[in-house]
């Protein structure tokens, strides 16, 4: 049975240091519950309680589950691998000790930190990609993180392809899956990032069947994406301009994707994400409309 969650990033709680004040965890969890979702992701370390019993209490009193936690690691640099694995294990242990044994570590590149990738998000060319030697190091780090997480906590790891990071385009996602251990590293398919990165998420869902262990529902506004490419916006301007819009208002074919998920008998979580930064709008209203849209697709 598919369950629907939301995430703190939909309330402007992101891993980036951005202007404006985002919501507190109690507001986010209250509004996730009130808009009809069944779970949440963790957000940055320290956003929610880091004592397992306290985290569990906050979720249980709202009848919510913990679905996963986003952990960015600069995997291109081998010297950062051990610290990344340590951070991932710490995060996984929090979720596991709170009783959420099926939650995922959502591993990602340290997005938004490399100038060329950030300035060219949505229009990455092959020469901006990693070399074969760099891919081996990158994948070695992803495998290490996933192995340490599994050994220490039993939790699984999925990699989040992401614009403004080294794994953005369909070709780069293919490379990541080629170089990583399929028993250790799954993929979280993010529909909006996949489309802004130049791909068709429905095709990805079909082509990577078996490696996709987790799903993010994010939409991509085609006109804003085109404007970003034509005017050379960086990733942050694109996000702040609403490239990731409300579900059903962009170019992602969610009805076809839902049909494919049912055909594949997918039974995991779908996490709704819409990056509503401070000042962009009302996150609770957006979350409610996104939930109603999914209800119209019988989710």
Question: Cβ distance 2 to 31 under 8 Å?
Answer: no
Distance CA 139, CA 91 (A): 20
pLDDT string in tens for the chain (299-residue length): 899 999 999 998 865 454 556 689 999 999 999 999 999 999 999 999 999 999 999 999 999 999 999 999 999 999 999 999 999 999 999 999 999 999 999 999 999 899 999 999 999 999 999 999 999 999 999 999 999 999 999 999 999 999 999 999 999 999 999 999 999 999 999 999 999 999 999 999 999 999 999 999 999 999 999 999 999 999 999 999 999 999 999 999 999 999 999 999 999 999 999 988 777 889 999 999 999 999 999 99
Question: Cβ distance 37 to 272 under 8 Å?
Answer: yes
Distance CA 62, CA 6 (A): 14
User: What backbone torsions phi and psi does residue 121 show, to the nearest 5 degrees?
Assistant: -60, 130
| Cβ neighbours of residue 292 closer than 8 Å, sequence gap 6 or more | none
Distance CA 283, CA 265 (A): 31
Task: Give the pair of three-digit tokens for residue 266.
Answer: 């997918």
Using the CB atoms, write b or e for 131-141: b if 16+ within 10 Å. eeeebebbbeb
Question: Cβ distance 31 to 283 under 8 Å?
Answer: yes
Give the Cβ contact number of residue 127 at 10 Å: 6
Counting the structural domains of the chain, the total is 1
User: In this predicted structure, what is the pLDDT of residue 19?
Assistant: 53
User: What backbone torsions phi and psi does residue 20 show, to the nearest 5 degrees?
Assistant: 95, 165
Q: What is the DSSP letter of 130?
A: P
CATH number at residue 128: 3.20.20.150
User: What backbone torsions phi and psi does residue 110 show, to the nearest 5 degrees?
Assistant: -80, 75
pTM value is: 0.95
138 closest CA partner among 114, 103, 102, 104: 114
Range of the domain at 38: 3-296
Question: Cβ distance 47 to 82 under 8 Å?
Answer: no
User: In this predicted structure, what is the pLDDT of residue 182?
Assistant: 98
User: In this predicted structure, what is the pLDDT of residue 214?
Assistant: 98
Kindly state the greatest CA–CA separation across the chain. 50
Report how far apart, in Å, the C-alpha atoms of 245 and of each of 10, 24, 234 are: 11, 22, 17
């Amino acid at each position: 049975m598919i369950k629907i969650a939301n995430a703190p990033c939909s309330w402007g709680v992101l891993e980036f240091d951005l202007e404006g004040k985002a919501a507190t965890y109690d507001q986010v969890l209250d509004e996730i519950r009130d808009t009809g979702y069944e779970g949440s992701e963790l957000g940055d370390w320290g956003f929610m309680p880091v004592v397992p019993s306290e985290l569990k209490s906050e979720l249980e009193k709202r009848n919510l589950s913990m679905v996963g936690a986003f952990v960015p690691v600069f995997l291109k640099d081998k010297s950062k691998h051990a610290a990344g694995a340590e951070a991932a294990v710490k995060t996984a242990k929090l979720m596991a000790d709170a009783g959420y044994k099926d939650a995922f570590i959502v591993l990602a590149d340290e997005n938004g930190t490399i100038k060329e990738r950030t300035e060219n998000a949505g229009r990455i060319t092959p020469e901006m990609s990693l070399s074969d030697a760099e891919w081996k190091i990158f994948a070695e780090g992803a495998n290490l993180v996933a192995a340490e997480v599994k050994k220490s906590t039993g939790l699984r790891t999925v990699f989040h392809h992401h614009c403004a990071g080294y794994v953005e385009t369909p070709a780069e996602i293919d490379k990541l899956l080629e170089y990583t251990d399929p028993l250790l590293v799954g993929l979280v398919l993010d529909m909006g990032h996949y489309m802004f990165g130049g791909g068709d998420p429905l095709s990805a869902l079909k082509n990577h069947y078996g490696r996709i262990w987790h799903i993010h529902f994010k939409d991509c506004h085609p006109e804003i994406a085109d404007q970003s490419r034509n005017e050379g916006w960086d990733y942050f301007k694109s996000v702040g301009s609403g490239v990731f819009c409300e579900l059903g208002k962009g170019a992602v074919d969610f009805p076809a994707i839902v049909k494919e998920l049912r055909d594949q008998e997918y039974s995991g979580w779908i996490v709704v994400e819409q990056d509503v930064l401070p000042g962009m709008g009302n996150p609770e209203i957006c979350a409610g409309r996104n939930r109603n849209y999914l209800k119209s697709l019988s989710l």
